[in-house]
Amino acid sequence: MILRGYNPGIKDRRIVATMKNKKTFGIQSLVISFVIIAVCEVFFLLDVLADVFRIDLAAPWIDHGTIELVSAVTLAFALVVIGWQIKRLLHDHRNARAFVQVASGELLAVIYGKFDAWKLTSSERDIALLLIKGLSIQEISDVRDTRPGTVKSQSSAIYQKAGVTGRNELAAYFVEDLLAGENIMPITNSDA
């Protein structure tokens, strides 16, 4: 079945472009922060040396205290930017670890992690895994030696907890992210 107007490469190109923009902005903000810290360090070093050797560094157009205040405020700004970048890098690191788990054959651990986040019972976890593997309701009831009605009921509970409408969306939840190269387990407040 071919979908009209669907181009699987568009989403990938947008993701790559967004990642490049974020990376460029992150590098630029770190470089600017480094320059600010270096300039302020030079100023404070010269200020300390001037105090030690009793040299007056006063400029007629600006007060020395104002220069120190501006330097301190820009240092604080640089530290905020660096702190923000560290937080972003830690977030990216967590996402990369989830991606590496998938890439190294740890998909089952990622799936179980989602099952934990969805708070599935032991029976629901077993059924969800069999649904993802593609077994029918009847096949699942045969494997688990239960009635098809029980499997249907538990399947509905799984779909509700996962926020999907059926078995196709449940399987696609994991497969689509793998094919797109995106993160399967986004780090959110509810997952933490």
Distance CA 5, CA 44 (A): 60
Give the pLDDT confidence of 156-166 residue by residue, as tens digits: 999 999 999 99
Angle subtended at Cα 14 by Cα 188 and Cα 183, rounded to the nearest 5 degrees: 30
CA distances from 83 to 12, 26, 76, 80, 142 (A): 30, 12, 10, 5, 55
- Residue of 183 and 118 predicted with greater confidence: 118
* For range 126-132, the mean pLDDT: 94
d(CA 123, CA 154): 8
pLDDT at 90 over 60: yes
Look-up: residue for tokens 């509700």? 160
Dihedral through CA 12, CA 18, CA 24, CA 26, nearest 10? -120
pLDDT score of 4 more than 50: no
What is the per-residue pLDDT for 173? 86
Cα 150 to Cα 84: distance, rounded to the nearest angstrom: 49
Alpha-helix residue ranges (DSSP H) falling in the chain: 8-52, 64-103, 107-118, 122-133, 137-144, 148-162, 167-180
pTM value surpassing 0.75: no
